[in-house]
Amino acid sequence: MSDAMAQRRPLALGLSDDERQLQDSIERFIDHEYDLMRRRAALAEGGDDPALWRQIAELGWLGACLPETDGGYAQSPKEALILLEQFGRGLVLAPVLDAMLVPSAILRAAGQGEREAGLLMAMMSGERRLALAWAEPGRRYDLRPLTTQARHDGHQWRLQGTKATVLGAPQADTLLVSAATEQGSVLMRVPADAPGLSMTSYLTIGGQSAADLFFADVRVADDALVASAESAGAALQAGWDWGAAGACAEALGAMRAALTLTLKYVDTREQFSQRLSRFQVIQHRLAAMALELEYSQALLPLLTAHLDQRGQRSSAVIAGVRSRISAAARMVTGDAVQLHGGIGVTDEAAVSHYFRRVVALDQAWGGHRFHLQRYRQQRRDHDLIHA
């Protein structure tokens, strides 16, 4: 028991007053200022809504997501998860996870918080955005870099290789790039406009912009090294844990909204001279969806308890929770589409946006099967809560 406590934060069930206040204000903002039209407009602009990003920063929510050690005012990862959950519910297209949370988690885990204090402040004020470039062509979720290589020529670092589907890269001013060296994997900070760096940008099905990056002898100074071979593996894992966990919070909000939409729809749509909600088959399906939602929500505190805690056990718990929530989110949003019938698979229908968002969140940070496998490999004991 005490061992487990040492490895994680105390489990906080429910919300504190401050947390509830934050949640209420985000909820209000979304209900008044955000809708599918605004999302569509951002999609038409390549997945970016710079005015929204400024607004979110001015409201202080980016700062609310980062811990005090980074200059923010989060008491725990919960504030960030609250924001993501609400953004998931509202289909808000803003790269909080990719441009802020994942990169800052990496800087933190690499012990760069102090050195990068200026950068972190600029991120919280919405001026700067980062992106993590980890994936390489054809290598799925292998975190170890191989085809992107860095070599020190005595004066500077020189980077060569490719990265695939880097979320948020087209809007980032700085990239955190994993690269292989003779000593092992490292993480480098590379300006997006560095000579020799080119990218192909596109939209993902979740609405985010992404790019494939090509490094042709990109040169960066010594101080671009964010994490050396000793610390890069753990730093990358910390960032990934945030990605996987944050995606769960967002998926949770999306599931809830998709369920709400479906409840409304089946209560108005009539076939065979009755409302769809009168069919028991449909009632049971909705009940099963509600159960999945409830169980996903129940698991969330484990994420808060384990994020930013170093060590394999925390990563394993996050993977386990992720596998459960990810599977549930796919099921719930998939069934929501099914219960809408033909209209459910159209771009016009909000429910298809929730489904696509959930699929993208699953795909971007490893799906339920992948994380179940990770959990199985890394778990230490049979009890995720008490050890």
Ligand X SMILES: Cc1cc2nc3c(=O)[nH]c(=O)nc-3n(C[C@H](O)[C@H](O)[C@H](O)COP(=O)(O)OP(=O)(O)OC[C@H]3O[C@@H](n4cnc5c(N)ncnc54)[C@H](O)[C@@H]3O)c2cc1C
Residue 28 or 369: the one with the smaller Cβ distance to another protein is: 369
Residue 169 or 339: the one with the smaller Cβ distance to ligand X is: 339
Residue 121 or 345: the one with the smaller Cβ distance to ligand X is: 345
Residue 139 or 152: the one with the smaller Cβ distance to another protein is: 139
Which positions from 271 to 310 touch another protein by CB under 8 A, shown as an x/- string? xxx-----x-xx----------------------------
Distance CA 8, CA 369 (A): 25
Distance CA 286, CA 231 (A): 46
CA 24 to each of CA 19, 21, 30, 232: distance values in angstroms, whole numbers, following the listed order: 9, 5, 10, 38
Token couple for 167:
């979320």
137 binds ligand X (CB under 6 A): no
334 binds, among another protein, ligand X, none (CB under 5 to 8 A by kind): another protein
Piece of 23-31, 123-131, 229-237, 335-343 that binds another protein (CB under 8 A): 335-343
382 binds, among another protein, ligand X, none (CB under 5 to 8 A by kind): none
Residue 11 or 345: the one with the smaller Cβ distance to another protein is: 345
90 binds another protein (CB under 8 A): no
CA 343 to each of CA 74, 271, 346, 348, 351: distance values in angstroms, whole numbers, following the listed order: 41, 14, 6, 8, 9
Distance CA 175, CA 172 (A): 7
Name the 3-class secondary structure at 9: coil
Helix (H) or strand (E) holding 176: strand 174-181
Residues of 52-88 as b/e, b for ≥16 C-beta within 10 angstroms? bbebbbeeebbbbbbbeebbbebebbbbbbbbbbbbb
CA 250 to each of CA 200, 214, 215, 359: distance values in angstroms, whole numbers, following the listed order: 27, 30, 32, 11
The most distant pair of C-alpha atoms in the chain lies apart, rounded to whole Å, by 79
What part of residues 332-351 is at the interface with ligand X (CB under 6 A)?
Answer: 338-339, 341-342, 345
263 binds another protein (CB under 8 A): no
Token couple for 103:
């990169």
CB of 374 to another protein, least distance (A): 9
Which positions from 242 to 271 touch ligand X by CB under 6 A, shown as an x/- string? ---------------------------x-x
Asked if 237 contacts 143 with a C-beta cutoff of 8 angstroms, the reply is yes
CB of 334 to ligand X, least distance (A): 11
297 binds, among ligand X, another protein, none (CB under 5 to 8 A by kind): none
Judged by the rule CB under 6 A, the positions of this chain that interact with ligand X are 269, 271-272, 276, 279, 281-282, 338-339, 341-342, 345
Judged by the rule CB under 8 A, the positions of this chain that interact with another protein are 135, 137-142, 144, 146, 164-165, 200, 202-206, 210, 212, 270-273, 279, 281-282, 334, 337-338, 341-342, 344-348, 352, 355-356, 359-360, 363-364, 367, 369-370, 372-373
